[in-house]
Amino acid sequence: MLNDKAWARWLALILIASMMFFAYMFVDVMSPLKSLLEEKLQWDSASFGTYAASEYFLNVFFFFLIFAGIILDKMGIRFTGVLSASMMVIGATIKLIGVTQWFEGTAMCEWLDSWWVSFPGSAKMASLGFMIFGCGCEMAGTTVSKAIAKWFEGKEMALAMGVEMSIARLGVFAVMWISPLVSNAFDQSIVAPVAFCTALLLIGLISYIVFSVMDTKFDHQLEAAGIKNADGGSDEEFHISDLGKIFSSKMFWLVAMLCVLYYSGIFPFQRYAPNYVQETLGVSAEAAARIFSLFPILAMVLTPFLGAFLDYKGKGATMLIVGAVIMTCCHLGFAFLLPAVPQIWLAVVLILVLGVSFSLVPAALWPSVPKIIDANILGSAYCLIFWIQNIGLCLVPLLIGETLDATGGYFVPMLIFASFGVLAILFGIWLKVLNARHNYGLEEPNVKKKDAGVLAAEAASAEE
């Protein structure tokens, strides 16, 4: 099989991970530009929070992610991946139009300005594009997870997922440097970095199309071996009752709740972190973005190793709890310690340690889902978890933006982020207890050792 060749399966991983690398760059391209948005486009913190929340609006309130799961399980990873990458490009283009000076003078912008006047027309247009991008981005995330599960079944699955996450997070590091640099190169431009990242999304679409060619060849091999519908779609007609199987699983709900609580303390924080560092340390926006760019560094380095540890040693549930504890401590440090000792070295330490948490939890979380959900509804399960996660990711930026405008500082927002960590710890402990009681295998390694009889049979076959 094609995936038995190490070069082939890792090349496939690089192709699909590059799409997520560019997607993560686009997600945070405007995070280092918050003060510039306030100056040039008259966005306040509430407007910025609403814009940040818009990425998840259609996924949550129009249930797009649930439909995405059905599409993934029925149509397979090739169709769904190309569709999601295309939606990201379309949404990014609309957002790019929204922040241009040309759009500011159009009749459409004037009409958008005429209602909900506290939310600028440019922000409305950018949010519309971000909504469409968000649908494609979240669909892509679930598709990539299922694609890795297909290509690395019985192999280094957690390591592969860890490498994919590391490559994606490299996008966060890259954009925190590139966005201010491109902006400054074009005279404090907001448009230039957004345009640059939009072009990269187009490259990501091409990368996934190349992967789809490889996946088609892999499917031909699987079909020749008698495995039907190898692309990842379900052989059976989809039924709403399949969702019922997922919703009736207590383990699913524990994983989903831990997921939404943990990520609500990470991704919304990411949107505001450069501005938090800027205000707390009294540095420039560019310097603050560079300091926060260190956040994914340890996550990028550690996640593959943690994935390998999970593959061969296990302890997934324990890793989830430890990661949540670290996140809670870091946010408490941002609330109390850094304002009291506003030193760059301390900010760097807290940001790097938070990156350790961001390697522990995702490395253990996503490979755990196939252990509690049947393969034929795995795509729907991933999408439902993402949908529940998106509820938090949609509402939390709104909450933080309103809290910032109401309090004028980051102390209360940091306590809110820390509270998510405390709740995630409690759900992680509950998950570990149930796993020990019912033996779901969350603490077991992913790579199964072959017994002596199987090894002997394989040796005999090789000699023949």
* pLDDT number for residue 246: 81
Q: Is residue 6's pLDDT more than 90?
A: no
The two tokens of residue 124 are 């409305």
| Alpha carbons 318 and 432: distance in angstroms, whole number | 7
Q: What is the mean pLDDT of residues 161-185?
A: 88
Q: Is residue 317's pLDDT more than 90?
A: no
Q: What is the mean pLDDT of residues 233-261?
A: 75
* pLDDT number for residue 286: 86
pLDDT band at 228 (very low <50, low <70, confident <90, very high): low
Q: What is the mean pLDDT of residues 379-392?
A: 81
Q: How is the chain split into domains, by residue range?
A: 2-228+241-463
Q: Is residue 424's pLDDT more than 90?
A: yes
Give the lowest-confidence range in 44-48, 158-162, 228-232.
228-232
Q: Is residue 464's pLDDT more than 80?
A: no
Q: Distances from the Cα of 132 to the Cαs of 85, 129, 253, 461, in angstroms?
A: 11, 5, 27, 52
Q: What is the mean pLDDT of residues 141-168?
A: 84
Model pTM score: 0.77
* pLDDT number for residue 455: 41
Give the number of other Cβ atoms within 10 Å of residue 464's Cβ.
Answer: 5
* pLDDT number for residue 460: 47
Q: Is residue 454's pLDDT more than 50?
A: no
The two tokens of residue 76 are 């397979």
* pLDDT number for residue 310: 79
* pLDDT number for residue 359: 82
User: Looking at per-residue confidence, does 233 or 199 come out higher?
Assistant: 199
The two tokens of residue 339 are 């304002």
% of the chain residues with pLDDT over 70: 92
pLDDT band at 235 (very low <50, low <70, confident <90, very high): very low
The two tokens of residue 10 are 């890792």
* Residues 297-307: tens digit of each pLDDT: 877 788 778 77
% of the chain residues with pLDDT over 90: 42
Q: Is residue 396's pLDDT more than 70?
A: yes
The two tokens of residue 448 are 């199964």
The letter for the amino acid at 159 is L
Q: Distances from the Cα of 161 to the Cαs of 164, 254, 354, in angstroms?
A: 5, 21, 20
User: Looking at per-residue confidence, does 412 or 75 come out higher?
Assistant: 412
Q: Is residue 414's pLDDT more than 70?
A: yes
pLDDT band at 23 (very low <50, low <70, confident <90, very high): very high
pLDDT band at 448 (very low <50, low <70, confident <90, very high): low
Q: What is the mean pLDDT of residues 345-362?
A: 91
Q: What is the mean pLDDT of residues 159-167?
A: 83
* pLDDT number for residue 59: 84
Provide the CATH number for the domain formed by 2-228+241-463 in this structure. 1.20.1250.20
| Alpha carbons 305 and 364: distance in angstroms, whole number | 11
CA proximity to 266, closest of 412, 400, 176:
400
Q: Is residue 447's pLDDT more than 80?
A: no
Q: Is residue 451's pLDDT more than 60?
A: no
| Alpha carbons 84 and 420: distance in angstroms, whole number | 30
Residues 6+ apart with CB under 8 A from 5: none
* pLDDT number for residue 85: 96
Q: What is the mean pLDDT of residues 434-451?
A: 75
pLDDT band at 441 (very low <50, low <70, confident <90, very high): confident
* Residues 60-115: tens digit of each pLDDT: 888 887 788 788 878 889 999 999 999 999 999 999 999 998 887 788 888 888 88
SS3 at position 418 = helix
* pLDDT number for residue 231: 54
DSSP per-residue string spanning 282-313: T--HHHHHHHHTTHHHHHHHHHHHHHHHHHHT
Q: Is residue 234's pLDDT more than 50?
A: no
Tell me the average pLDDT of the chain.
86
Q: What is the mean pLDDT of residues 207-235?
A: 78
